[in-house]
Amino acid sequence: MTTTSDRQGLPRVWLGPGAVSDPRALARFGDLAGIPLVAGPVAAGAHRRRTGRTVVHGLGVGGVDHEDARAVGVDAAEELLGWATARGLSVCVALRGESPGDLASVLDRLRRSTVGSAVAAVEVDLRTADDQQVLRSMARVREAAPRGQLLLARLSVAAPDLVARARAAVAGGAGAVVVSAQVPLGPGRWWSGPSTAALCLSGLRELRAAAAEQRWPGAPLVAAGGVHDAASALAAVDAGASAVQLGTALWADPLLLWAVRSALEPGRPAHAPHPHTRGGPRPPEST
């Protein structure tokens, strides 16, 4: 599997869970080598859903009010893993669960499948977890994951004591922290978009300062919030991010994926869509 890494061994650009309804559609627009596709979020007991899309409740200045990305079952994740493996691409499996056991059961099943070796990384959604829940969840996933598997903990900047939760994530086995600036609007409902950039930058700076003060061991940070163009991606890197994650911004412009990669990796040109391409990833559903 081909990946493009920074000096810390982390791909510079990631897809957020729910960024597109089917990551395979992005292959119409350009080369996906070096960009981990995202499978999921995968949840224990979730029904297979190949075309489920994130439900949007409304648009506002600088953002969108939307529900969590719809969970898929393990069989849907296996299908994407098989597709990616045949093309030499990498996949990050996004996990969601009610308990550490739920998270581990999904990962254990994927590990035992014929395409389990294609999993390049695992991201665990811990946005609503406190530090003790983060520690237990990451430790359980670490036990279920293959040795050396890259694990990312997705933490919310909006929740209390970001540093304590980041410290717990690393203690539990996380190799990187996804700094999510989505603002909670209610159970399973979030505000995302360019207006969350300041919150994301503040979280990055807080964790960078805390690492310098040795209040947590430190780990590569992935900026997930407010990255909507090359300039905002570079601003996140300046604030301490090793990589960025794109989500709702791709709903408006899938080509942003390559523009951001080009900004963070000057040696790579921004890819234009293939001449025969018509259409793109499915837009979110509106209510």
Summarised one tens digit per residue, pLDDT across range 253-262 is: 999 999 999 9
Token pair recorded at residue 118 = 């294609």
Per-chain mean pLDDT for the chain? 87
pLDDT in tens, 189-221: 988 999 999 999 999 999 999 999 999 999 999
* Residue 2 resides in a domain: no
> pTM to 2 decimals?
0.89
Across residues 10-29, what is the average pLDDT?
91
Token pair recorded at residue 270 = 């921004």
**98 vs 150, which has greater pLDDT?**
150
Residues 79-90 as b or e (16 or more Cβ within 10 Å = b): bbbebbbeeebb
Q: What per-residue confidence (pLDDT) applies to 7?
A: 40
Q: What per-residue confidence (pLDDT) applies to 46?
A: 60
Q: Sign (positive/negative) of CA torsion 1, 44, 74, 56?
A: negative
* Residue 5 resides in a domain: no
Question: What does the chain come to in residues?
Answer: 287
Residues 139-156 as b or e (16 or more Cβ within 10 Å = b): bbbbebbeeebbbbbbbb
Q: What per-residue confidence (pLDDT) applies to 49?
A: 44
Find which of 3-7, 157-161, 267-271, 281-285 is predicted with most confidence, using mean pLDDT. Answer: 157-161
- Give the CATH number for residue 133: 3.20.20.70
* Residue 81 resides in a domain: yes
Across residues 132-149, what is the average pLDDT?
95
Q: What per-residue confidence (pLDDT) applies to 280?
A: 45
Q: What per-residue confidence (pLDDT) applies to 270?
A: 55
* Residue 88 resides in a domain: yes
E strands, the chain, where?
13-15, 37-43, 55-60, 63-67, 91-96, 119-125, 150-156, 176-180, 183-186, 189-192, 221-224, 243-246, 285-286
- Supply angle C-alpha 287, 15, 197, rounded to 5: 75
Tally of domains within the chain: 1
Residue 280: exposure state from Cβ atoms within 10 A (0-12, 13-18, ≥19): middle
Q: What per-residue confidence (pLDDT) applies to 184?
A: 86
- Cα 37 to Cα 267: distance, rounded to the nearest angstrom: 21
* Residue 54 resides in a domain: yes
Q: To 10 degrees, what angle do helices 230-238 and 197-212 make?
A: 20
Q: Out of 3-12, 100-109, 180-189, 229-238, which region has the weakest mean confidence (pLDDT)?
A: 3-12
* Residue 3 resides in a domain: no
Q: Tell me how crowded residue 74 is: count the other CB atoms within 10 A of its CB.
A: 24
**Helix residue ranges per DSSP H, 145-280:** 162-172, 197-212, 230-238, 249-252, 256-264
Q: What per-residue confidence (pLDDT) applies to 267?
A: 66
Q: What per-residue confidence (pLDDT) applies to 103?
A: 94
Q: How far is CA 273 from CA 3, 134, 153, 155, 264, in A?
A: 21, 40, 33, 33, 20
* Residue 6 resides in a domain: no
Q: Out of 41-55, 215-229, 264-278, which region has the weakest mean confidence (pLDDT)?
A: 264-278
Residues spanned by the domain of 276: 13-286
- Residue 106 confidence (pLDDT) above 50: yes
Across residues 7-31, what is the average pLDDT?
87
* Residue 66 resides in a domain: yes
